[in-house]
Amino acid sequence: MASRTATKDIITLRGSAAIVAEFFGYAANSILYNRGVYPEESFAKVKKYGLQMLLTQDEGVKTFISNLTAQLSEWLEAGKLQRMVLVIMSKASGEVLERWNFSVETDSEVVEKGVSREKSDKEIMREIQAIMRQIISSVTFLPCLEEPCVFDVLAYTDTDVAVPFTWIESDPKLIANPHMVKLHSFDTKIHKVDTLVSYKNDEWDEA
């Protein structure tokens, strides 16, 4: 009787950084589309993670996300990125309405000693797919954003990181007494990403 085992793929630090940075890019696009930050017609359909995803065709946003993922990949490869937060704010008042928080844990041994890890690419894709499905379905549990919105991205890094001139120091853009929903996580065996969305609690305002 033949036995079967799941195929393990070699995951390097650079490869893991690329996977996570690419995930951030697709996640950002999906959030901007599904939360209606940009018009539906400004997105194009692509196939990724076994799902139909949408990518912005707005040149300014495309350039921003492309530069963002390149910088995040560099920080991830250096083991310096702790967290990335995508913030959705009211365009008129600047009030923070949602914070999409992606926390990163890095295997320090891989960074320090250059060793690799093993995990099936398909297993990683399934874990990412589960997060993307939750982002896509977020309209079912998040309040409707009824006003024009803008977004910003915050990156939390180790203090010894050289920060490019295109990044500036920022306040954490927190939400007072928010509702919070924990989403799925994924793990390349080098980087583990936990996802949490917090949003404005209108019930608190009315109390």
Q: What is the CATH number of the domain that holds 31?
A: 3.30.900.10
Domain count, the chain: 1
Query: What pLDDT does residue 174 have?
Result: 87
* 41 part of a folded domain: yes
Average pLDDT, the chain: 91
- Give mean pLDDT, residues 84-97: 96
* 152 part of a folded domain: yes
CB 203 within 8 A of CB 101: no
- Give mean pLDDT, residues 138-166: 85
Could you tell me how many residues make up the chain?
207
* 164 part of a folded domain: yes
pLDDT at residue 11 is higher than 70:
yes
CA angle 20, 108, 120 (to 5 degrees): 45
In angstroms, the CA 32 to CA 26 distance is: 10
Element (H or E) spanning 90, and its range?
strand 81-90
Q: Is 160 or 6 the better-scoring residue by pLDDT? A: 160
* 141 part of a folded domain: yes
* 185 part of a folded domain: yes
Q: How far is CA 156 from the centre of its chain?
A: 13
* 202 part of a folded domain: no
In angstroms, the CA 66 to CA 60 distance is: 10
Confidence of residue 201 (pLDDT cuts 50, 70, 90): confident
* 205 part of a folded domain: no
Percent of the chain exceeding pLDDT 90 equals: 81
Element (H or E) spanning 135, and its range?
helix 121-136
Query: What pLDDT does residue 171 have?
Result: 74
Q: Is 8 or 134 the better-scoring residue by pLDDT? A: 134
**Residue bearing tokens 């690799």:** 116
In angstroms, the CA 38 to CA 148 distance is: 9
Provide the residue range defining the domain that includes 75: 7-197
Q: What is the pTM of this model?
A: 0.91
CA angle 59, 54, 141 (to 5 degrees): 120
pLDDT tens sequence across 17-76: 999 999 999 999 999 999 999 999 999 999 999 999 999 999 999 999 999 999 999 999
CB 154 within 8 A of CB 173: yes
* 204 part of a folded domain: no
Judged by DSSP in three states, 118 sits in strand
